[in-house]
Amino acid sequence: MKIISGNANTALAREICGFLGEPLCDATVTSFPDGETFVKINENIRGRDVFIIQPTCPPTNQNLMELLILVDAARRASAARTTAVIPFFGYARQDRKDQPRVPITAKLVANLLVAAGVNRVLTMDLHAQQLQGFFDIPVDHLYALPVMLKYLKSLTGDDLVVVSPDVGGVKMASAYAQALNAGLAIVVKRRITASEIQPITIIGDVEGRDVIIVDDIVETAGTLVGAAQLLREQGARNIYAGVSHAVLTDLGIERLSGSAIKELITTNSVPTRASSGGNITALSVAQLLGEGIRRIHDDESVSSLFDIKN
């Protein structure tokens, strides 16, 4: 086994290596003065099982190109198999033509990864699970729920409601509600712009109860903050948010700091910004991803890691 990391989240890569008891492969990943990416793998990887850890978080295009070039370098160095470990899969929301003359960028990225030489993908909490079908290679899709479950249970009592911030997130919220033995509610919203939403109503009873809003990704936090405000107006007691990937912008951090959300619980699938404030808790997914890597390397089943009810 050889584990290589790009520059997107080296801290997570080191944690994964620590869990597996494997050293991080020596690789140079830098840029030329004109911005072009330069990669050199400084160890022999001929015939090795190579895992390249690189979430495609902001700067998305830079990190994606680093991943593609690392994969090409591994292929040309005669690696036996190359697995792209993508804790956060960027461009996943562009998965269909919802307007005339727009691309399906998620499929394009899948094609690029396969063309570069990826043999297998290991990822976590895709925005849409059907993205697995965009690949003609195996995709192992893990869930952050097992990592977040214990912490979420420590925050709240028995009188808990899990809230989906929109209709599309009901399946994920339902899995959390079942695992936490909690109630379920849904926020009905209307999107105004890419960064602004208008919550309309809540389906379900939240009055006097602790609530956890669950989602797969937060950027500008418009959906979360709008949902939290509506929940507060409907009498919710303590409001928490559980989000797999916190790809926060400055606007998102500002909105969260002044919102009704008591704490945002997320993972370290992407680097958590130091300026994010004290109400954000990032849980490590190094053990989850590390176990997935170990099982892939040993040709063992990873189906138990797929189980969202775990």
For residue 33, give Cα distances in angstroms to 30, 37, 72, 184, 192: 10, 9, 21, 52, 40
Reduce the DSSP state of residue 275 to 3 states and report it. Answer: helix
What is the rounded distance in angstroms from the CA atom of residue 126 to the CA atom of residue 113? Answer: 16
What is the rounded distance in angstroms from the CA atom of residue 215 to the CA atom of residue 229? Answer: 16
| 280-283: strand order across its sheet | 196-203, 183-193, 160-164, 210-218, 239-246, 263-267, 280-283
Is residue 189 part of the annotated active site? The answer reads yes
Structure tokens at 174: 């339902």
Residues 6 or more apart whose CB falls under 8 angstroms from that of 17 comprise 3, 23, 24
Decide: 53 and 3 in contact? Cβ < 8 Å.
Answer: yes
Q: From the CA atom positions of the chain, what is the Rg in Å?
A: 20
Reduce the DSSP state of residue 127 to 3 states and report it. Answer: coil
- The residue whose two tokens read 């030489």 is 117
Q: How many residues does the chain have?
A: 310
Among candidate residues 107, 150, 189, 262, the one labeled active-site is 189
Catalytically annotated residues: 189
